[in-house]
Chain A
Amino acid sequence: MFSAIYIESEIRDHPRSRAILKRYRDLPHIECERFGQVFNRKAQNFRMQKQYPALILARKHGRKVLPAPAGYGFEAGQSHYFSHMLNCIYDCRYCFLQGMYRSAHCVLFVNFEDFADSIRQSIAEGGGKQVFYSGYDCDSLALEPVSRFAEFFVPFFAQHPHAVLELRTKSTQISSLLQMAPSPNCIIAMSFTTEAVAKRWEQDVPSIEKRLAALARLQEAGWPVALRFEPLLPDADPNAHEKLFDLAFTRLDPGRLHSVSTGLFRMPTDFFRNTLKLYPDEPLFARETRTENGVVSLDQSDREVWLTELETTLFHHIDPASYYRCAD
Chain B
Amino acid sequence: MIGGVNLAVAHPLEAKALLEWFDLEEIEPGGAFRCYGNSKGIALVISGMGAENSAAGVRFLHERQFPGFRAWLNIGIAGHPHAATGHGFLINRIEHGRSGECHWPPVPGLGLPGCGLITVAEPETAYPKDVAYDMEAAGFYAQAAGLTTTDLVHVFKIVSDNRENPVSKVSPQQVPELFRNQESAIRKLVDHLRERSAAFTNWYEIPAEFEMLLHKYRFSATRKAALAQYCRRYCALGRQSRLNEIAHMRFRDAASLMTTMRMELALPDETGEMSR
Contacts and interface: CB of A to CB of B under 8 A. Distances in A.
Interface in B187-202: 196, 199-200, 202
A305 to B, nearest CB: 10
Contact of B232 (A28, A47, A286): A286
B237 A44 contact: no
A30 B116 contact: yes
A44 B274 contact: no
Given A52-B106, A280-B204, A287 B237 contact: yes
Interface stretch (A181-189, A218-226, A231-239): A231-239
A190 to B, nearest CB: 24
- Chain A CB within 10 A, most for which of B116, B238, B265, B273: B273
- Chain B CB within 10 A, most for which of A31, A32, A41, A281: A281
Interface in A1-55: 3-4, 6, 28, 30-32, 37-38, 41, 43-45, 47-49, 52, 54
Contacts of B148: 43
Interface size class of A (residues with CB under 8 A): 35 or more
B274 A287 contact: yes
B272 interface: yes
Contacts of B109: 3-4, 52
Contact of B274 (A28, A43, A233): A233
A288 B199 CA distance: 26
B235 A281 contact: yes
B265 A281 contact: no
Interface string A258-302: 000000000000000000000111111111100000000001101
Given A44-B149, A280-B204, A3 B107 contact: yes
Contact of A283 (B146, B196, B236): B236
A306 interface: yes
Given A236-B272, A286-B232, A288-B266, A48 B114 contact: no
Nearest to A4: B107
B233 interface: yes
B274 A285 contact: no
A288 B92 CA distance: 42
Given A38-B104, A45-B151, A281 B236 contact: yes
Interface residues of B, number: 38
Given A44-B150, A45-B149, A52 B104 contact: no
B208 to A, nearest CB: 15
- Chain B CB within 10 A, most for which of A52, A300, A302: A52
A302 B276 contact: yes
Given A28-B114, A30-B93, A30-B114, A285 B104 contact: no
Contact of A43 (B145, B271, B272, B276): B145
Contacts of B276: 234, 300, 302, 306
Contacts, number: 93
A43 B149 contact: yes
Contacts of B202: 281
Interface in B208-240: 229, 232-233, 235-238
B30 to A, nearest CB: 33
Contacts of A234: 274-276
B57 to A, nearest CB: 20
B102 A37 contact: yes
B236 A282 contact: yes
Nearest to B232: A280
B226 to A, nearest CB: 13
A300 B275 CA distance: 9
Contacts of A31: 93
A28 to B, nearest CB: 4
A302 B275 CA distance: 11
A4 B114 contact: yes
12 contacts: A3-B108, A4-B114, A28-B92, A30-B114, A44-B150, A44-B151, A45-B149, A45-B151, A49-B106, A282-B236, A283-B236, A288-B266
Given A3-B106, A32-B102, 19 more contacts: A3-B109, A4-B109, A28-B92, A30-B107, A30-B114, A38-B104, A43-B148, A45-B149, A45-B200, A48-B151, A52-B109, A234-B275, A281-B232, A282-B236, A283-B238, A286-B232, A287-B274, A288-B265, A300-B276
Interface of B: 92-93, 102, 104, 106-109, 114, 116, 145-146, 148-152, 196, 199-200, 202-204, 229, 232-233, 235-238, 265-266, 271-276
Interface of A: 3-4, 6, 28, 30-32, 37-38, 41, 43-45, 47-49, 52, 54, 233-236, 279-288, 299-300, 302, 306
The 4 lowest CB-CB distance pairs between A and B, nearest first, are A286-B236, A3-B109, A234-B276, A4-B107
